[in-house]
């Protein structure tokens, strides 16, 4: 006979449901998710939301510089990360770097990707003090984690025949990389860099709030000073930046990948 059994299916669904619900309830309890807090919060809701309106339009002018700083922060971090990911990527590729170099680099890349940018920022703030430099470094480091790994992986997958043919023409090591490896990984690298730019813009807003400056700082500051109408304007500013970055990066990426396919 067949293995189909309605009761077993029902039981399995109930069991999975029960496990998830129990874990969820335990987690929710741990996080103080209590109906009365919720009710209380919702009770204030309408008033609270109303306090964000009308937006303080007159503050819009003050947001231009912070918005610029956020964009510049994300752009320079992406560029720096991109540059640094070349040597790192080479050092992480098995067909380029020796094992003694590759393995520690790979481990470091994994570490970089695992640690959230905000934590990296805390380190850099200690090292360089508050300000955009700490922000640039933590975002750049995060970018290396992604782009360096990508480059390393891409280098390992590069068609050896192409590399050989370039090498056979008498090219030096660097020429081989430049003319044999790079052209093959460039489209993927460009696409990932654009994606990383999008991520960096989002993160630079967050980092701004904990010391890197820019529009994030304005949001945090306005909220802290209970100037909610001003916060609305700052949020609109960040919205504009993030929206534009996503749209631009998405469109360029689609064009790149579309041209590839």
Answer for which of 130, 179, 202, 227 binds other proteins (CB under 8 A) is 202
Nearer to other proteins by Cβ, of 133 and 256: the residue is 133
Count of C-beta atoms within a 10 Å radius of residue 167: 16
| Member of 82, 92, 141, 177 binding other proteins (CB under 8 A) | 82
122, 109 contact by CB (below 8 A): no
Q: Does 79 bind other proteins (CB under 8 A)?
A: yes
Contact 207, 118 (CB under 8 A): yes
Indicate which single residue of 162, 188, 220, 248 sits in contact with other proteins (rule: CB under 8 A).
220
Query: For other proteins, which residue of 50, 104, 131, 159 counts as binding (CB under 8 A)?
Result: 131
CA 129/CA 174 separation, integer angstroms: 38
Q: Shortest approach of other proteins to residue 168 CB, angstroms?
A: 26
Provide, rounded to whole angstroms, the least separation between the CB of residue 229 and other proteins.
14
Nearer to other proteins, 40 or 58 (CB): 40
Compute the residue count for the chain.
261
Alpha carbon 204 to chain centroid, angstroms: 9
User: Which of 205, 217, 233, 253 forms a contact with other proteins (CB under 8 A)?
Assistant: 205
Rounded to whole angstroms, the Cα distance separating 106 from 50 reads 51
């Amino acid at each position: 006979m067949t293995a189909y059994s309605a009761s077993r299916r029902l039981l399995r669904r109930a069991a999975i449901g029960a496990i998830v619900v129990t874990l969820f309830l335990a987690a929710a309890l741990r996080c103080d998710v209590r109906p009365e807090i919720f009710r209380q919060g919702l009770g204030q809701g309408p008033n609270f939301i109303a306090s964000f309106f009308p937006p303080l339009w007159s503050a819009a002018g003050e947001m231009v510089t912070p918005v610029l700083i956020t964009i510049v922060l994300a752009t320079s971090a992406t560029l720096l990360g991109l540059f640094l990911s070349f040597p790192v990527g080479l050092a992480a590729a098995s067909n380029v770097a020796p094992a003694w170099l590759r393995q520690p680099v790979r481990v470091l890349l994994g570490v970089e990707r695992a640690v959230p940018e905000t934590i990296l920022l805390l380190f850099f703030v200690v090292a360089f003090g508050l300000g955009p430099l700490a922000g640039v470094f933590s975002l750049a480091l995060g970018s290396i984690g992604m782009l360096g790994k990508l480059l390393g992986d891409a280098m390992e997958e590069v068609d050896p025949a192409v590399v050989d043919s370039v090498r056979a023409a008498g090219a030096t090591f660097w020429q081989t990389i430049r003319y044999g490896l790079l052209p093959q990984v460039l489209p993927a690298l460009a696409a990932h860099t654009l994606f990383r730019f999008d991520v960096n813009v989002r993160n630079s807003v967050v980092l701004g709030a904990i010391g890197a400056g820019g529009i994030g700082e304005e949001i945090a500051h306005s909220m802290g000073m209970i100037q909610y109408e001003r916060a609305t304007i700052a949020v609109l500013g960040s919205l504009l930046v993030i929206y534009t970055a996503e749209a631009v990066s998405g469109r360029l990426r689609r064009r790149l990948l579309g041209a590839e396919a």
